[in-house]
Amino acid sequence: MADLAERETTDDTEATPRWRRRLGSLLRWETMLVLLLLATIAYGASVSPYFLEWTNLFFIGLNVGEIAIIALPLTLIIITGEIDLSVASMLGLTGLCMAELFDHGWPIWPAMIAAVLLGGVLGAFNGLLVTRIGLPSLAVTIGTLTLYRGIAQGVLPTDTISGFPQGLASIGVIPIPHTHISYSVLFFLVLAVVFGIVLHATPLGRAIFAIGANQEAAFYSGIRVRRIKFWLFVLSGLMCGFAGVLWTLRFASARYDSGIGLELFVVTVVLLGGVSIFGGRGTIVGVVLAVAVLGCLQTAMTADVIPAQDQNIVVGGLLLASVIVPNSREMYGRARTRLRSVGARRHAAVAAREEGS
Partner 1 sequence: MTSLAEEPAVVDRRSSSHAFAEFLARFRELGIVLALVIVVGAATLDNHLFLSAANIQQILAGSAIIALLAIGETIVIITRNVDLSIGSILGISAYATGVLYVHHPNVALPVVFLLAFAIGAVCGAMNGLIVTVARVPSLVVTLGTLYIIRGIDGAWAGGNQVNASMLPDSFNKIGYATVLGIPYLGWIAIIAVALATYAMRSFRTARDFYAIGSDPAAARLAGIPVGSRVFLAFVLSGAIAGVTGALWLSLYASVDAIAGVGYEFQVIAAVVVGGVAIFGGSGTVLGAALGALLLYTINTALVVVNVSSFWSMALSGALLLAAIAFDRLIALRLAPAMRTRRTARG
Interacting residue ranges for partner 1, rule: CB under 8 A: 83, 85, 129, 133-136, 138-140, 142-151, 153-154, 157, 261, 263-264, 267, 271, 277-278, 307, 309-313, 315-317, 319-320, 323-324, 327-328, 330-331
CB of 46 to partner 1, least distance (A): 22
- Closer of 81 and 295 to partner 1 (Cβ): 81
Task: Find the angle CA(121)-CA(236)-CA(95) to the nearest 5 degrees.
Answer: 65
Which CB sits closer to partner 1, 56 or 89? 89
Q: How far is the CB of 150 from partner 1 (least distance, A)?
A: 3
Across-strand partners of 254? 161
Amino acid (one-letter) located at 149: R
Task: Collapse the DSSP code of 182 into the 3-class scheme (helix H, G, I; strand E, B; otherwise coil) and give the result.
Answer: coil
Whole-angstrom CA distances from 139 to 152, 161, 325 are 20, 32, 26
The CB-of-118 to partner 1 minimum distance in angstroms stands at 15
Closer Cβ to partner 1, 41 or 140, answer by number? 140
The set of residues, in sequence order, having a beta carbon less than 8 Å from that of 116 and lying 6+ positions away, is: 94, 238, 241, 242, 245
Query: By C-beta, is 57 or 90 nearer to partner 1?
Result: 90
- Cβ distance to partner 1 smaller for residue 221 or 328: 328
Minimum CB separation from partner 1 for residue 90, in Å? 13
In angstroms, the CA 220 to CA 164 distance is 51
* Least distance in angstroms from the C-beta of 83 to partner 1: 7
Q: What is the CA radius of gyration of the chain?
A: 24
Closest CA to 137 of 148, 147, 149, 125: 125
